[in-house]
Amino acid sequence: MIDLDEQNHQPAEAVTATPDRLMARRKMALRLVAALVVGVLLGGTGVSALRDSRDRRERAGVVALVALPVVGNYGSTVSSESVGVSGKLMLVNAGPVSITVRGVQGERPGVVMHSIGQPRLLPPGGTAQLVVELRFECSIAFQPEPLPIRISVQTDDKHVREVSRPVDFAGSEWERDAMGNCELR
């Protein structure tokens, strides 16, 4: 709006602007900038916390195991059709978190394996020996390829998972004992 009574013809707003009004506008702009900065900081912190939580959950679910037959026969049974051999299977936890090994099973034509005993806690980098029993069918020829086994584990996040690993028994003391007992029956 222009005041026609004045000689300088400036807008009425420019004439009525006071230092208090200018200060209030500056304070409002400063508050808006401060709110924006606080929002960015809180958002960044929240995203970082969510990312860290997701990484911890993923790490807790990682299972990395190595399975090896341990030399030694802890007993055998012979029936008219099969030979049972008991021994130990060494498990190495190559993962980043502790796991509980609940059981081991394996099967292919002519061979069945299962663990005997209680679940075992394995810390990262730790090892455990599980007692297992293998049953070899004497009527089926021994296969030289590794036996696929399934290892049931519980991770730190309380989920039960199955991990598949091959275990090579070819030429092992277990296989030699089983073959010898099959020939004797």
Shared-domain flag, residues 55 and 73: no
Asked whether residue 1 is domain-assigned, the answer is: no
Q: Give the pair of three-digit tokens for residue 34.
A: 């401060």
Q: Residue 177: its pLDDT value, please?
A: 84
Q: What is the pLDDT of residues 6-48, one digit of tens each?
A: 565 555 555 555 778 888 888 888 888 888 888 888 888 877 7
pTM value is: 0.65
> Model confidence at 91, in pLDDT bands (50, 70, 90)?
very high
Shared-domain flag, residues 132 and 166: yes
CATH number of residue 177's parent domain? 2.60.40
Tell me which residue range forms the domain holding 20: 12-60
Shared-domain flag, residues 49 and 81: no
130: exposed, middle or buried (Cβ count in 10 Å: 0-12, 13-18, 19+): buried
Shared-domain flag, residues 173 and 151: yes
Q: What is the pLDDT of residues 163-179, one digit of tens each?
A: 998 998 888 888 888 88
Shared-domain flag, residues 29 and 72: no
Q: Residue 73: its pLDDT value, please?
A: 64
